Structure 1
Amino acid sequence: MLAHCREGANRNGRTYALMYDLSGLGAGRMDEVIDDWRQLRTRMKLGEDPAYLHHRGKPVVAVWGIGFNDKRAYTLDECKRLIEFLKSDGCTVMLGVPTYWREQKNDAVPDPALHDIIALADIVSPWTVGRYRSPDDAARYAEKQIKPDIAWCTEHHLDYLPVLFPGFSWRNMYGQSTNAIPRRSGEFFWRQFHEDKTAGANMLYVAMFDEVDEGTAIFKCTNDVPPPSEAPFVTFEGLPSDYYLRLTGQGTKMLRGELPVDSPLPKP
């Protein structure tokens, strides 16, 4: 699969990077992650490929799932060892952390070591999918969380990568509401670009390209409901199949300053 990503990126002028999602990793198995990166460096020359994503001159490796309070089997000490290894191998390290990593509450472990580990990395990316539910909620979140997060990162010489998402549903996974966080025809997604940029963000992470199980996908989807079945489907509300891809492109222009930050929601 990684080889397909590499080939596609090189063919189409795109970039790619590797992420290790540690969720589900057993205790004492961090060496397997380290060995995997060593093998990819040797066998695929990962990081040397011209299409591989670099940040501040170094290949980017993302490590997701550090500091969550959901009783993960691996420890913060193991995470620290992985980060130190990747840094020693000349990588830019991006960390996927809980929403409330800075305050160490709610979804984050209340352990001072978490801040020490984050300070070892280069980019901090708090996971915020499902943490707010409306455009106004997104505005409040940006004011209350993103601004002080950025201040903390600036003080510790780290880059900050906020996550934004188009909508949310856990219906197929857990039987919850079919449209728990509605997309509002793109308004919810677009408002996050505005609020995150206004709060001072200079990079953004869109969640996700193809994650249909949580209703966050932005890739092309049909609005035609499949034949009758017990499984409900959340559609794009009649919008063109590429609408969220185009919103992402326009949001990128806003982030770069090529569009005014108060630009209205683009028409379908």
Structure 2
Amino acid sequence: MIGGVLTWWRTGDRDSRPGFTGVYHALDMFLPWMVGRIGTIADADNLYNVAIVPDLVECTTHGIDYQPCVLPGRVGDRQRAHGDFMWRQFYKMGRAVVPSLHISMFNEYNEGNQTAKTAKTAESPAWIPTGSGLLALDKDGTCSSDYYLRLTGDGGRVLKGQIALTPTRPTPPVTGGGDKTPPTAPRLCMSSA
């Protein structure tokens, strides 16, 4: 049985309740929820030290599989750092030698933290009306609409040993130059019947 558990399942504090150790140890696999727990590269590094590594030790000791999650970060909170935030998590999970990962927030478009391909209307800051308050896919400039899917693919290849584990993301945010031409305003078409 797989348990979608809270981040601090092992310690029984913060987002978890004490006294559930027996229940947790009866599970076959853990999928701890980390969304909202980290938002910066420093947070990802800290979580690796205080949760991921000790969680893996606890799970290994009790014969439980462990599948932590990786998230791209929220656009509105400017967490993505042009893919560096998500890649740091892949890097840390690769260092921890986890056998598999859960990629969270695949299509959370309404919260601006999706991994899935994003509509091309916000691929570049040039595409956003001045003063609108809207953000491009990434705060630092152009980032292709499928970049976080490609970054996820790189993470999978690292876990499978197909590419080397590196602290620097292997795929740049844009390949082939990207489309930097903003869309034109729609025209009103009128036809007579």
- TM-score bin, normalised by smaller chain: 0.7 to 0.9
Q: C-alpha displacement at 1:234, in angstroms?
A: 4.3
1:113-152 residue CA offsets vs partner (Å, 9 max, x unmatched)? x221222221101111121221122112112210000010
**In 2, Cα distance between equivalents of 1:181 and 1:187:** 12
- Alpha carbons 1:219, 1:242 under 8 Å: kept: yes
Is 1:121 the counterpart of 2:18 in the alignment?
Answer: no
- Alpha carbons 2:8, 2:14 under 8 Å: kept: yes
- Alpha carbons 1:147, 1:199 under 8 Å: kept: yes
**Matched residue, 1:251:** 155
Percentage identity across paired residues of the two chains: 33
Is 1:215 the counterpart of 2:115 in the alignment?
Answer: no
Q: List runs of 5+ in structure 1 lacking aligned partners.
A: 1-92, 170-178
- Aligned to 1:224, what secondary structure does the other structure show? helix
**In 2, Cα distance between equivalents of 1:160 and 1:252:** 16
**Which structure would you say has the larger RCO, counting Cα contacts within 8 Å and 6 or more residues apart?**
2
Letter in 2 for 1:166: P
Alignment of 1:204-243 (within 5 A): 204-225=101-122, 233-237=134-138, 238-243=142-147
**In 1, Cα distance between equivalents of 2:49 and 2:116:** 29
Is 1:149 the counterpart of 2:46 in the alignment?
Answer: no
- Alpha carbons 2:41, 2:85 under 8 Å: kept: yes
Is 1:101 the counterpart of 2:9 in the alignment?
Answer: yes
**Matched residue, 1:160:** 66
1:216-265 residue CA offsets vs partner (Å, 9 max, x unmatched)? 2111113525997xx95443222111111111001100111111111621
Q: C-alpha displacement at 1:201, in angstroms?
A: 1.4
Letter in 2 for 1:138: A
- Aligned to 1:143, what secondary structure does the other structure show? helix
**In 1, Cα distance between equivalents of 2:83 and 2:46:** 19
Q: Does the C-alpha gap of structure 1 residues 232 and 209 become closer, same or farther in structure 2, counting only changes over 3 Å?
A: farther
Q: List runs of 5+ in structure 2 lacking aligned partners.
A: 175-193
Is 1:138 the counterpart of 2:50 in the alignment?
Answer: no
Structure with greater helix share of residues: 1
Q: When the two structures are aligned, how many residues end up with a matched partner?
A: 164
For the aligned residue pairs, the C-alpha RMSD in angstroms reads 2.2
Displaced runs of 4+ in structure 1, greater than 3 A? 225-228, 231-235
Q: Does the C-alpha gap of structure 1 residues 227 and 264 become closer, same or farther in structure 2, counting only changes over 3 Å?
A: closer
**In 1, Cα distance between equivalents of 2:92 and 2:133:** 32
**In 2, Cα distance between equivalents of 1:209 and 1:105:** 28
